[in-house]
Homo-oligomer: A and B are copies of this chain.
């Protein structure tokens, strides 16, 4: 593993307070792998052998049941995914696939568990990380239960536009995946975009422009207890 990569991992809050010795032990047994787009990393139900850290690219976590499939969330750098399965030595609840070309760091699950028992600061950081994951999942559930599809899209666009600081931004993934993340079909995502046109939402391929964010906000009614101005509900695992 290159020094820049180790430094990148070391900077994330989960690993930053860890002792040097424990960090070295953890990263010594790690793998850094590059994957092309659309590669399945693991399937839900499999034993959790690794904790994954996204160094580059984006990963989709999704679930399947009865010939149906739904995206649950996406993970960007330097997010980790499948944390709970690793600490519990349980199976994965979601499958994972790369959305674009990805570089992932894979930390052996047993080493992570060992590090938790030997480094109190790491355990405290893990508590912070897991509580963040849990809160994001609660927020996603609230989003699904309290809002219609159009409202969810509106909130998502407002949040993403605000975060990008520009009136125009690129959607971070293809529309089919975005639709699934928002809990709707691709057809209904197209229709929802069309519904938001009078609210200043201009769509050109994957480029979105918010020409009237105040109008859009009046429809979306953003709520700090559901939406985030930092990467969470729809961005991190």
Contacts and interface: CB of A to CB of B under 8 A. Distances in A.
Given A44-B225, A116-B127, A141 B135 contact: no
A145 to B, nearest CB: 4
A65 B221 contact: yes
A34 B73 CA distance: 40
Contact of A145 (B45, B63, B147): B63
Copy count, this protein chain = 2
Given A123-B120, A145-B63, A138 B88 contact: no
B134 A123 contact: no
Contacts of A141: 72, 137, 140-141, 144
A90 interface: yes
19 contacts: A63-B142, A63-B225, A65-B142, A65-B147, A65-B225, A70-B142, A70-B145, A84-B134, A88-B128, A88-B132, A90-B135, A91-B225, A94-B138, A116-B124, A127-B127, A133-B134, A137-B141, A144-B144, A144-B183
Interface of A: 44-45, 63-66, 68-70, 72, 83-85, 87-88, 90-91, 93-94, 116-117, 120, 123-124, 126-128, 130-135, 137-142, 144-147, 183, 221, 223-226
